[in-house]
Amino acid sequence: MNICIGNTDDHARNHSAFWDGHELSLTPAYDLCPQPRSGREANQAMAFGPEGQRASRLRLLRESAPVYHLGDRGAEDLIQGVVAAIRESFAAAADRARLTTAEAEAFWGRQILNPYIFE
C-alpha cells in the first residue's frame, strides 16, 4: 500500500491498533501520508527486502515475498488486489477527503500509482 500511494515516510511507529476493552487488533491503515516527488524515483523509509531493498517498485516487493512467507502467486494476487482497489476507489476517497478536482488530479499518477512503481 505504501508503495502504491507514495507513502515513503513509513517507520516502525506508524502502526496503530483498535482496543475494544477485551481484544487488540491492528488497524487496516494508519498515518498514511503520500509524499510529493521531485523526480521519477522514490524510496521507502523502511527496507522491505532481505538485502535492504527500499526502492518504491512493486517488482522488488514481489521478489521479497518469501521474507513474508508468501509464494509468488500469493504476493502477485495481493499486489494486484491493492492496485485494483486503489483504481476502483480513488475517486470516491478523493471526494470523501473533499479534494478539489485539481488536487485529486495532482495526486493521481504522481503520489498515487506513480508509473515508477510498475517498472
Number of domains in the chain: 1
Cell for 97?
A: 477527503
Q: Which domain holds residue 106?
A: 2-118
pTM of the full structure: 0.85
Contacts of 65 (CB under 8 A, 6+ apart): 71, 72, 74, 75
10 within 8 A of 1, measured Cβ to Cβ: no
Average pLDDT over residues 104-118: 94
The pLDDT tens digits of the residues spanning 36-69 come to 887 889 999 999 999 999 999 999 999 999 999 9
Cα separation, 29 vs 72, in Å, equals 24
Q: Is the pLDDT of residue 17 over 90?
A: no
